[in-house]
A and B are shown apart, each in its own frame.
Chain A
Amino acid sequence: MTWRVRYRISRTTGNGSATRHDTFTVEIRPDETVLDGIEVIWARQDRTLAFRHACHHASCGSCGLRVNGVEKLPCVTTVQDVTTDGGTLTIEPLRSFPVLGDLVVDPAPLFKRMQQVGMPLIRRAEPFGEPGDFHRFENCIECGLCLSACPVMLASPHYLGPAALAAAERVIAEPREADVPSLLRLLDGEHGVWQCHSAFECTEVCPSDVNPAGAIMALRARLIRERIKRLFGRGALAAPSGGDRDTKRT
């Protein structure tokens, strides 16, 4: 049993050029994914359609885009999750990233922000279970959905954003050789945690249980404690930093 679904896809050549929407009709099973439909369109209807995909199981974060205005990974979003037989899917690129073409965005703004906070790769904070247990070291797959969903990112281009702030919270929890005082000053700065307005959309759209909003609130609590300690000449904020971080380098 297949459904007849219309895909209304954003098209552009990038570099600020005009955007239009092309509509394609596909016959697709309701339990197939939104990405399956995009791939069918590319294969059989329009080979000029540009989009990203890789793992097809929410592990790489490459395929992130907006489906009917909400950020999703189309590789794990089934058609029946987001529309009905005869319905229309509006497919658009992520917000707050430069669009290179059609559904492809430049992920550099995300990675630059992650670099600023130290971009942790492996977390040891979780206890290890029985030998042979599968152990997920790091939840964030750097898909960028949270940056796209964040309303503050639309108005403040230098805001560190949910992904980097959640990553910073993990650096604070497991610093290793990281310069924690310097990182705390960055987070306490103009484009750090205080720019969050608690919309919680980052946590809602995260496909990987990172809970960026929760991490931001935890960082705020930490910074408040550090500010109180600094009044008495103690704490990480009172300590000299090991180096400067350029808060505007995003």
Chain B
Amino acid sequence: MAGWFDARRRRLGMWAFVLNRITGLLLTLYLFVHFAAISALYLGEGAWDGTMRLFRTPPFLAFDILLLAALLYHGLNGIRLSLLAINVGVPRQKTVFWSLMTTGALVLAYCALRIFRVLPS
């Protein structure tokens, strides 16, 4: 199984494959963290408000940006894989990858600026 995560000296497709698996695992783990976090609702309004205040602190906002990056990567690469699976864009799969990742980077940058309130809402 180590070969699944060893992309050293491999090309773009293998790196995309490895990152897809890593982000998939991280997002799955995050799902359980998310369930645990929102279970603060069971502890009452005070606990919930405290949890939300904590999540608005800079370290957690930075974590939100990393989470969004993983979501964007996994989702956009998933679109690329779906297209490849029906034989669309196969000769240009690297170009498709970089186009989607550029789009994702722009979306991430915009969201990061909004999250940290640099841009007005």
Q: Contact at B9–A204, with CB atoms within 8 Å?
A: no
| Known interface pairs A217-B86, A221-B87; 20 further A-B residue pairs with C-beta atoms within 8 A, sorted by A's residue number | A68-B9, A69-B8, A151-B3, A151-B17, A155-B1, A155-B4, A197-B81, A198-B16, A198-B81, A198-B85, A200-B12, A200-B93, A201-B11, A201-B13, A213-B90, A217-B85, A217-B90, A220-B85, A220-B86, A224-B86
B14 at the interface (CB under 8 A from A): yes
Which chain B residues (1-27) contact chain A, with CB distance < 8 Å? 1, 3-4, 6, 8-14, 16-17
Q: List 28 A-B contacts (CB under 8 A).
A: A68-B9, A69-B6, A70-B9, A70-B10, A151-B3, A151-B17, A154-B4, A197-B17, A197-B81, A198-B17, A198-B81, A198-B84, A198-B85, A199-B13, A199-B14, A200-B12, A200-B93, A201-B13, A201-B14, A203-B13, A204-B10, A213-B13, A213-B90, A217-B85, A217-B86, A217-B87, A220-B85, A224-B86
Which B-chain residue is minimally distant from A222 (CB atoms)?
B87
Q: A213-B90, A221-B87 are in contact. Are A201 and B10 (CB under 8 A)?
A: yes
B contacts, CB < 8 Å to A:
1, 3-4, 6, 8-14, 16-17, 81, 84-87, 90-91, 93
Which A-chain residue is minimally distant from B10 (CB atoms)?
A201
Cα-based distance from A68 to B6 in the complex (angstroms): 13
Contacts of A113 in B (CB 8 A): none
Q: Contact at A217–B84, with CB atoms within 8 Å?
A: yes
Contacts of B10 in A (CB 8 A): 70, 201, 204
A11 at the interface (CB under 8 A from B): no
Which A-chain residue is minimally distant from B6 (CB atoms)?
A69
Q: Contact at B3–A221, with CB atoms within 8 Å?
A: no
A95 at the interface (CB under 8 A from B): yes
Per-residue CB contact flags for chain A residues 222-245 toward chain B (1 = under 8 Å, else 0) read 001000000000000000000000
Q: How many residues of A contact B (CB 8 A)?
A: 21
Q: Contact at B81–A204, with CB atoms within 8 Å?
A: no
Contacts of A220 in B (CB 8 A): 85-87
- Minimum C-beta distance from B56 to chain A (A): 38
- Minimum C-beta distance from A173 to chain B (A): 14
Contacts of A68 in B (CB 8 A): 9
Q: Contact at B9–A154, with CB atoms within 8 Å?
A: no
Q: Contact at A200–B87, with CB atoms within 8 Å?
A: no
Contacts of B85 in A (CB 8 A): 198, 217, 220
Q: Contact at B13–A200, with CB atoms within 8 Å?
A: yes
Cα-based distance from A218 to B16 in the complex (angstroms): 21
- Minimum C-beta distance from B103 to chain A (A): 19
Contacts of B6 in A (CB 8 A): 69
Contacts of A70 in B (CB 8 A): 9-10
Cα-based distance from A151 to B5 in the complex (angstroms): 9
Selected from A155, A197, A204, the residue in CB contact (under 8 A) with B11 is: A204
Cα-based distance from A181 to B90 in the complex (angstroms): 25
Which B-chain residue is minimally distant from A204 (CB atoms)?
B11
- Minimum C-beta distance from B86 to chain A (A): 6
